[in-house]
Structure formats: structure tokens, C-alpha cells
């Protein structure tokens, strides 16, 4: 029961994030792109930049900020999936970045926060 609730919440968050990003001019290239058992929620294009986006949806900030919830393990996973995507897509001369979109549902209201360059690849 809790798993289904989290899945619905995540899907709602992703749908809202996609609408929000499109309104900001981002072209959506992929949703739920998988490489093995790893996944990136949204892949978009912002001018000449490929953007890999993790969506965090929830009802409370009790679990930390969105950037904190994308821990080092998740960052490494996103980097692996991004490398696979870039290789298979044959993009040349493009920049890329990793963003986080936080969707919070509080007291019947929802708030969307877009954190560009949430983490860097070293």
C-alpha cells in the first residue's frame, strides 16, 4: 500500500515537473530513461545543453532539502545513466548538467523548485 502511494506521488511529481520545465522552455527528450536497473527521471534539452533531471516529490521537508536527498550514490547512478545516454544518442558538441526538481505537496498546495547544476561531475 505504501509502495503504491509513493509511486503515485512520484508519478504526479514527475508530471508536474515536466509541465513546469516545458513552460520554462526545456525540450523533453526522455522520461524514465533506464540503463540496467538505474534510471533518470527526465532528460531534456536547454538550448545546447543536455539536462539530466532527478525529481523529488514529497509531502514534507522533514527528510532534508532536495539536494540532500540526491546523495552521492544517486549522483553516481545518474552519471552512469547519463554516460550511456550520451553514448547512444551520438550527441556532439553539447554541454550537460544535472538538475533536481523538487515538488512538495503541503496543506493542499504544491510548490515546485528547480535547482540547476544541483551537483557537478568531477
29 CB burial (10 A radius; 0-12, 13-18, 19+): middle
Give domain limits for the chain: 2-119
Which of 1.10.3720.10, 3.40.30.10, 3.40.1350.10, 3.90.1150.10 is the CATH number of 2-119? 3.40.1350.10
Give the pLDDT of residue 115.
94
Query: Cβ distance 34 to 86 under 8 Å?
Result: no
Q: Is pLDDT of 28 > 70? A: yes
Of residues 70, 64, 69, the one with CA closest to residue 52: 70
Average pLDDT over all residues of the chain: 87
Phi, psi of 30, rounded to the nearest 5 degrees: -150, 155
pLDDT tens, position by position, 62-83: 556 666 778 889 999 999 999 9
Query: Cβ distance 115 to 100 under 8 Å?
Result: yes
Q: Is pLDDT of 92 > 80? A: no
What is the torsion angle, in degrees rounded to the nearest 10, for the CA atoms of residue 119, residue 84, residue 8 and residue 21? 60
Q: How far apart are CA 16 and CA 7, in angstroms?
A: 14
Amino acid at each position: 500500500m505504501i509502495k503504491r502511494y509513493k509511486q503515485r506521488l512520484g508519478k504526479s511529481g514527475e508530471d508536474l515537473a515536466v509541465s513546469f520545465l516545458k513552460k520554462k522552455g526545456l525540450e523533453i527528450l526522455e522520461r524514465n530513461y533506464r540503463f540496467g536497473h538505474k534510471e533518470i527521471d527526465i532528460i531534456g534539452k536547454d538550448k545546447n545543453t543536455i539536462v539530466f533531471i532527478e525529481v523529488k516529490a514529497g509531502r514534507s521537508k522533514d527528510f532534508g532539502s532536495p539536494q540532500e536527498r540526491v546523495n552521492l550514490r544517486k549522483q553516481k547512478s545518474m552519471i552512469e545513466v547519463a554516460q550511456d545516454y550520451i553514448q547512444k544518442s551520438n550527441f556532439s558538441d553539447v554541454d550537460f548538467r544535472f538538475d533536481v526538481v523538487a515538488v512538495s505537496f503541503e496543506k493542499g498546495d504544491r510548490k515546485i523548485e528547480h535547482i540547476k547544476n544541483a551537483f557537478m561531475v568531477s
